[in-house]
Amino acid sequence: MEILIVLGLVLAGAVYLAVRSNRPDDTTTPPSRPGLHKKPRLATNQGQRTSQPQRFDPDHRIPKPDFTILSGSAYVVDGDTLVIKKTQIRLFGVDAPEMNHPYGKKAKWALVSLCKGQKIRAEVTEQDTHGRTVAKCYLEDGRDLSAEMVKLGLAIDWPKFSGGRYQSMEMPDARKKLWLANARQNGHMGLWKQYEEKQAARKLKN
């Protein structure tokens, strides 16, 4: 009798295990919580791609500072050009005659006289279309070199670049006297060519 009871218990246990193993919600590990095993996403800024860095765009370079300061003694090239610490500088906002033009040498020596023994302060504003450095240049006492050359009648205001800053300082006859500089401002470069051709012809005769 006891053997029958044991066999019955064993058979009941086997049936119970067989039924339990076929139930869909029966696992050997606890059920996972929603999202627990999902692959984490990379954190990105909205609208940006993270696959590859963007290539450098030369049109979006970091802009230069508004100005750079140069200071030191000056070597004068002509009436509106000087050199400070090996940097050739064009005086801001004015136009002086070229060395081979009327009053060209006089303008140069006037600028030499102004700069002699002075420590010139140049506040760089930009580079012109020829790659030259343009700067507002000041004497030790704060006088603006561009203004001083205009007041002497040896340079004229160039409104395109100065905004008319020095126009009121011009001598009454300055544009008539410096007519080639005035012609350049007005786009009459043919007058330059005619003048220089005449100068070349005179040299050949001499």
CATH label of the domain that carries residue 169: 2.40.50.90
Catalytic residue from among 98, 148, 165, 184: 98
Q: Report yes or no on 35 lying in a domain.
A: no
Q: Report yes or no on 109 lying in a domain.
A: yes
What pLDDT is stored for residue 126 in this prediction?
A: 85
Q: What's the pLDDT band for 150 if we cut at 50, 70, 90? A: very high
Evaluate whether 128 touches 134 at the Cβ level (below 8 Å). Answer: yes
Q: Report yes or no on 110 lying in a domain.
A: yes
Whether 90 is catalytic: yes
Q: Report yes or no on 172 lying in a domain.
A: yes
Evaluate whether 114 touches 105 at the Cβ level (below 8 Å). Answer: no
Q: Report yes or no on 133 lying in a domain.
A: yes
Number of independent structural domains in the chain: 1
Task: Please check the confidence at residue 73 and state whether its pLDDT lies above 50.
Answer: yes
Whether 98 is catalytic: yes
Average pLDDT over residues 62-90: 85
Catalytic residue from among 20, 33, 41, 132: 132
What pLDDT is stored for residue 203 in this prediction?
A: 83
Average pLDDT over residues 176-199: 90
pTM above 0.75, yes or no: no
Q: Which domain holds residue 94?
A: 69-189
Q: Report yes or no on 79 lying in a domain.
A: yes
Average pLDDT over residues 17-25: 50
Q: Report yes or no on 184 lying in a domain.
A: yes
Listed in sequence order, the DSSP H helices in 43-144 are 104-115
Q: Report yes or no on 114 lying in a domain.
A: yes
